[in-house]
Amino acid sequence: MEGTEAVLKEIPIAEVQNLSMNSDAQASSSSEPSPEPMSLEEKFQLVRSIGEECIQEDELMNLLAKKPEPVCYDGFEPSGRMHIAQGVMKTINVNKLTKAGCRVKIWIADWFAQLNNKMGGDLKKIETVGRYLIEIWKAVGMDLECGRVEFLWSSKEINSRADEYWPLVMDIARRNKLPRIMRCCQIMGRSEQDELTAAQILYPCMQCADIFFLKADICQLGMDQRKVNVLAREYCDDIKRKNKPIILSHHMLPGLQEGQEKMSKSDPSSSIFMEDEEAEVNLKIKKAFCPPKIVQGNPCLEYVKYIIFPWFNNKFTIERDIKNGGDKIYTSFEELCADYESGDLHPGDLKPALAKALNTILKPVRDHFTKNAEAKDLLRRVKAYRVTR
């Protein structure tokens, strides 16, 4: 996404919508030969590898067989600084989808962030955060050169096609009882026991409508968004629509501390942020929960599995003293887990290697936010904002 700074300087929302941007980090020479076309099975395996769960696999195979460029939808609330799950994992997933020939619509859910009281409901701050997030994907290497990725601001898109959007929201709301909508509150980081505003009741109906509004074939969001995606499939049953959106739910990375099911932007110690300095990353990993010989519930090992191995083409290097076994290059997560469970690999050797790999990934982002004046200003403003629920 590098190379479009002139377009993005102090841009209003209207100028960003539908924008597909190039990435210097992923740029390739025009003289390079075109890759061999992927077989249907290769496409299926690549797309399926993104999801911890797929509803349904036969539908996904059929879609890939019949539609050359399936539309995938992912969305996010601009609600604060970006952690590596949102930055690196999303980049890995988007790059897999575009490689398989899919088109990806990334829904910048500014109105949804306002409904959910993010940034205190201040739409100008929410817009600033959205622009900051785009800058990160520019820097980290999301493959936008292919022209298959669009960033769409919800406020602009909904306003431009309001006559199509709001009747759809109303129909979804009309066909569902309040308890069914309440069960979707997890998508906002809420629970059914929370005291919700009327706006937060409207939110699931709108997110369900987004899927049809964007003409999405595949809902590619986290496991925490599963319930509203299932609601969209149920809505298809209600309206007798045969082609249901396929749900491809990716894994949720845990926080760095013991018992944290997911990263929290309000708890900096639980997350690695995309522009964290090298020393900050080293310290956070050093303090992270990583019990010896325990694989289950070990966040450091999850980071290796879901970030390091995919990013570095299934290669992870441990550097250690010869008396501790010497350097070792792992080419599979299963091999690494076996050594860790047996005690052949100690947390004291795993953690520095993990921190080094993460810092390698994050260096282009740090450099961008240091050298690019607009990006630097966006980060300064976002850091000054108070995270609200």
Q: pLDDT grade, residue 5 (50/70/90)? A: very low
321-362 pLDDT tens trace = 888 888 999 999 999 999 999 999 999 999 999 999 999 999
User: Could you tell me how far CA 194 lies from the centroid of its own chain?
Assistant: 25
Angle at 368 (CA atoms; ends 367, 374), nearest 5 degrees:
140
Q: Which 8-state DSSP code applies to residue 375?
A: H
What CA–CA distance (Å, rounded) separates 66 from 63? 5
What CA–CA distance (Å, rounded) separates 198 from 66? 41
Q: Is residue 50 within 8 Å of 97, Cβ to Cβ? A: yes
* pLDDT of 223 strictly over 80: yes
What CA–CA distance (Å, rounded) separates 305 from 314? 9
Q: Is residue 103 within 8 Å of 52, Cβ to Cβ? A: no
153-169 pLDDT tens trace = 999 999 999 999 999 99
* pLDDT of 193 strictly over 80: no
5 half-sphere exposure, CB direction, 13 A CA radius: 14
Q: pLDDT grade, residue 28 (50/70/90)? A: very low
What CA–CA distance (Å, rounded) separates 301 from 199? 39
What CA–CA distance (Å, rounded) separates 102 from 94? 9
The pLDDT score that the predictor gives to residue 2 is 35
End-to-end alpha-carbon separation of the chain, Å? 30
Of all residues in the chain, what percent are helix, strand and coil, respectively (each to 5)?
A: 55, 10, 35
Angle at 51 (CA atoms; ends 206, 262), nearest 5 degrees:
70
Q: pLDDT grade, residue 34 (50/70/90)? A: low
Spell out a b/e string for 217-240, using b for 16 or more CB atoms within 10 Å of the CB, else e: bbbbbbbebbbbbbbbbebeeeee
Q: What is the mean pLDDT of residues 109-120?
A: 90
CA distances from 28 to 36, 143, 149, 198, 375 (A): 16, 11, 17, 49, 24
CA distances from 175 to 188, 200, 233, 357, 367 (A): 21, 18, 13, 49, 50
* Three-class SS state of 220: coil
Give the phi and the psi of residue 196 in degrees, each rounded to 5.
-95, 150
* pLDDT of 17 strictly over 80: no
The pLDDT score that the predictor gives to residue 36 is 79
By DSSP bridging, strand 103-108 and strand 149-153 are parallel
